[in-house]
Amino acid sequence: MTDRTKYGLMDLEYAEDVEIDVCLNCNGAWLGYGELDKLKDKSEAGDIQETERQKRWKNGKM
């Protein structure tokens, strides 16, 4: 994974209220303090909805 401070080329992605920093060089992802737990809680509760593209991918219809 790229050293986060070396390149500084980051994109922001969002999963509802959780901000995910994604490196444009290596596609590594960084989360702030407590955000992994928030994602786990949302996933377990079914709060994060699958997109149509994710559903097609899962069903092998890409």
pLDDT of 6 > 90? The answer is no
Output the pTM of the full model: 0.56
pLDDT tens per residue across span 8-54: 688 888 888 889 998 888 888 889 999 999 988 877 766 556 666 66
Find how far residue 14's CA is from the centre of its chain. Answer: 7
Whole-number Cα distances in Å, 59 to 3, 48, 54: 35, 18, 9
pLDDT for 43: 77
